[in-house]
Amino acid sequence: ETGVTQTPRHLVMGMTNKKSLKCEQHLGHNAMYWYKQSAKKPLELMFVYNFKEQTENNSVPSRFSPECPNSSHLFLHLHTLQPEDSALYLCASSHYVTAGGIQETQYFGPGTRLLVL
């Protein structure tokens, strides 16, 4: 257990459905991240939130909509997804410290495996 939890762990949805992924961290971190991991491809950063403010959107399609109500919770709202969006979606958290160092190490949740039919 890394202190980062994600629900659900598995999700199957149709292209017209709307669903949300949830992430919660119990590490006292103030930065949270969404990553996408597809087979045989590197982890792709999707969004970054620092102190609840979005600081990075890595050219993610608008059918993915993040929400960060506080530093401990992060959501990814999904709507009208495509089959190619099927992947493992990973949440991570870290301290955000401009001076760098160990506090920026990211810790990952267990992921949500998403299948879009």
Partner 1 sequence: QKEVEQNSGPLSVPEGAIASLNCTYSDRGSQSFFWYRQYSGKSPELIMFIYSNGDKEDGRFTAQLNKASQYVSLLIRDSQPSDSATYLCAVKRRQGGKLIFGQGTELSVKP
Binding of partner 1 by 83 (CB under 8 A) = no
Q: Does 13 bind partner 1 (CB under 8 A)?
A: no
Please pick, from the candidates 25, 74, 109, 114, the single residue that binds partner 1 as defined by CB under 8 A: 109
Name which position in 90, 93, 114, 116 contacts partner 1 (CB under 8 A). 90
Tell me the CA distances in angstroms from 25 to 39, 49, 53, 91, one per residue in order.
26, 13, 16, 9
Minimum CB distance to partner 1, residue 46 (Å):
11
The DSSP result for 54-91, as a single string, is: EEEE-S--TTEEEEEEETTEEEEEEES--GGG-EEEEE
Amino acid making up residue 75: F
Contacting residue, 43, 60, 65, 72, with partner 1 by CB under 8 A:
43
Per the CB < 8 A criterion, the answer to whether 37 and 90 are in contact is yes
Q: Which is nearer to partner 1, 66 or 109 (CB)?
A: 109
For position 41 contacting partner 1 by CB under 8 A, the verdict is: yes
